[in-house]
Structure formats: structure tokens, C-alpha cells
Amino acid sequence: MALDYTGKVKVRGAQIAEIGLELLYKDNSIAKGIVKVNSNTKHGVVKTETSNDITEQAYTGQALTSDGNFTLFDYQVDHVKGEFKVDILEDTLRDTPFGDDMSAGAANIDSPRFMQLAADQLGAKMAYKNQVQRWQGVTAATKAAIAALTPNAAQGSITAAMQTKIAALPTTLRDGFLARTVYNNFNATKTAGLGTYIKVPGVTITESNIASQYANIFKAIPVVQRDDMENPFVLNAPLSHKGLILIANNTVGAAQQVNFLVTPTGDISYNGIEINFVQIPEGVVMGAPKGSFEFNTDLESDDNSMEVGEKENDSDVKFFRGITAWSTHVSRQEFNVLYGG
């Protein structure tokens, strides 16, 4: 059974104690609208995006040659269905603090307190792992495709450094936002499966150079996106950058803080561009308009919902199971900036 009670102490009598819970990082990308949730989206659903251009010409009163285009392209939602499952035998808990709420009798081994705790914690861990996978997930097929590319060649100008970063990521069931940015099979301007993005060369970021590196990123953002109030541009950075920014501000002083603004609530921006700290590899910053990163899911609450039941009719073993079906998509990719790309 997958129930390991390390350091178990046998007890007698009623026991009331606080339980130290595992701390899991939860980003607010969905709550802030940085990640757009498309709930109740079934596998195979077709979504459409557009791109267009049109050029003004001098008026002649005569028929003019067309100078513009309007492109529509479809992509199919490619959900991958996954399952989390843990089997537990509560009899292991009989002589522990959790045995206190078991009814009398050798056959009665149900601990409601433990079952609620386990369901809450396993659901939280499932949501956390889905969250990490949304950002840095990469399938074996995508890893192989990216590894086969020629660095700095015309088909997308991916760097060898980015290939190394992708190769080092854990292999998952789905491609996350980073993998979709680098290798996106659903984009109007894609070339051989490669995503269309604005590449910014990267270096190892420290508190000494973080301001200059963010300046390079800022300069690469299309001007029209910097001032877009409807779909504000957001920089998604590794968790470590928050600490580096705070150290840089403390070291350099007020002049530095004109660039990195830290609000009393802890929000950080660079020259007015919000910085969102998420689980992506070191040396990578992903910039995109809000809502460009899409989380397509059959049901959003599947992300952390746990089903509990008896494994077999003649067994005391119970199972905790969570089932998910979701995928990611990166839209409007020609506006996106990838530092370290």
C-alpha cells in the first residue's frame, strides 16, 4: 500500500494535534487572467485564429491592386487524459492519532479525519503538478523534434542553449507553454512546427545584471504591445528572479527601483510591464499579452478533484483518484518574446 507513516508513535487515548502540511507554491496566473481558461472544451474541438494586414494606397478613383491579406487558421484541441491514483489501507493508522476517530470494533478502520486530510492534500498536490506541467511540460515527441533541429538555422533560429533547457525538463504527458512557444504546431505563421516568437539572447542572470537583461527584454517587446491596455503585456519569469530583483533594488537603491517597481502588496513590474513569477527554467523569460497562454480543459475543477472509494468489495483498501483531460495553446505568438530562446 502507498501509505508510509514514518516515525509512527503508538498512542492510547484521545489525541488532538496540529498536522504540519506540505507547502506548495501556487501561482496566480489564472486568477490574474495571464492564463486564459477555456473550460468545458472537449478534445477535438476546432478553434480558429486570425491574422491580417492591409496597406493604405493613394486614391485614384480607379480600380486598385489588392494590397493586404486576411488569414484564418484552425487548430484542434488535443487533450491528453491523465490519471492520478493512490491506494491506502487505513488499518495502518489504528495505533496512531488518527485511530481516535475510528469506531469500536476490529473491522472498523475508517478514519474520517485522515480521509479528509488525504483528499485535501492529494488534491492540492495534483493541482500543483498540473500547474507545473502547464508551464514547463514537454512530451517525449516534442523533445525529440526540438533536439533534431539545427541551432540558429533558418527554420526557427532556436538556440543550442534552449535545446539544452528543453532536453533537461522532465518528460510529461503534455506540452506546456514553454514547449508550445518553442515548437508550436498550431500557428498561422509557423515554419516546420516551430513557433513564431521574438528571440532575445540570454545569459546567466544575477542581481548584478538583472536590470540590464530586463532592459534587453523590454526593448524587444513590440511597441504596440507595451501600451496595450486591453491586453497588457506580461513577463513570466522564474521564481528566483523575484529575490534577485529585491536584492538588486536594495543594492543599487532608488535609481534601480525606477525600473523595478515593487508595490506594498509585493507585485513587481519593470517599466510598467508586470512580472509574473512561475515555474519555468532558469535563464528563461516568456513575455506575452494577457490571455495568450490558454489552458483548455474539459472541466476546470478536475484540476484538483479527488474521487475516494473502495478498491474491491472484499477489501479494506481504498483509493484516491483524480482524472484530468486538458491541453495548452499559445495564441498571437508573433507578439511573444522569449528570453534565452
Q: Which residues have a Cβ under 8 Å from the Cβ of 93 and sit 6 or more positions away?
A: 3, 5, 99, 102, 109, 111, 114
Rounded CA separation 272/210 (Å): 16
Q: 320 pLDDT band (50/70/90 cuts)?
A: confident
Distance of CA 292 to the CA centre of its chain: 12
Segment among 3-17, 212-226, 236-250, 300-314 with least mean pLDDT: 3-17
Q: What are phi and psi of 101, to 5 degrees?
A: -100, 20
Rounded CA separation 236/338 (Å): 10
Q: 136 pLDDT band (50/70/90 cuts)?
A: very high
Residue 156 pLDDT: 54
Average pLDDT, the chain: 81
Residue 9 pLDDT: 41
Which of 111, 107, 175 lies closest to 142 in space, CA to CA?
175
- The SS3 of residue 64 is coil
Judge whether residue 256 has pLDDT over 90.
no
Q: What's the grid cell of residue 79?
A: 487533450
Residue 22 pLDDT: 47
Q: DSSP string covering 71-90, please?
A: EEEEEE---EEEEEEEEE-G
Residue 312 pLDDT: 74
Rounded CA separation 168/172 (Å): 12
Pairing relationship of beta strands 273-278 and 233-238 according to DSSP bridges: parallel
Q: What's the grid cell of residue 132?
A: 507545473
Rounded CA separation 73/196 (Å): 15
Percent with pLDDT over 90 in the chain: 31
pTM: 0.82
Calculate mean pLDDT across residues 275-301.
Answer: 91
Rounded CA separation 62/288 (Å): 42
Judge whether residue 185 has pLDDT over 60.
no
Q: What digits encode the pLDDT tens for the residues 145-160? A: 889 888 876 545 688 8
Q: 283 pLDDT band (50/70/90 cuts)?
A: very high
Rounded CA separation 314/311 (Å): 9
Q: What digits encode the pLDDT tens for the residues 305-315? A: 778 888 777 67
Q: Which of 8-22, 203-217, 321-335 has the highest mean pLDDT?
A: 203-217
Judge whether residue 211 has pLDDT over 80.
yes
Judge whether residue 102 has pLDDT over 50.
yes
Sign of CA dihedral 110, 111, 116, 121: negative
Q: What digits encode the pLDDT tens for the residues 23-59? A: 445 678 888 889 998 888 877 777 776 666 788 888 8
Please work out, in degrees rounded to the nearest 5, the angle formed at the alpha carbon of residue 221 by the alpha carbons of 244 and 144: 80
Please report where in the chains the cell 508550436 appears, as a residue.
184
Which of 169, 137, 135, 175 lies closest to 34 in space, CA to CA?
135
Of the CA atoms within 13 Å of residue 29, those in its CB half-sphere come to 31
Q: Which of 42-51, 85-94, 187-196 has the highest mean pLDDT?
A: 85-94
Residue scoring higher pLDDT (185 or 246):
246
Residue type, 265: T
Residue scoring higher pLDDT (119 or 221):
221
Rounded CA separation 213/269 (Å): 14
Rounded CA separation 141/298 (Å): 23
Rounded CA separation 173/327 (Å): 10
Q: Which residues have a Cβ under 8 Å from the Cβ of 312 and sit 6 or more positions away?
A: none
Q: 7 pLDDT band (50/70/90 cuts)?
A: very low
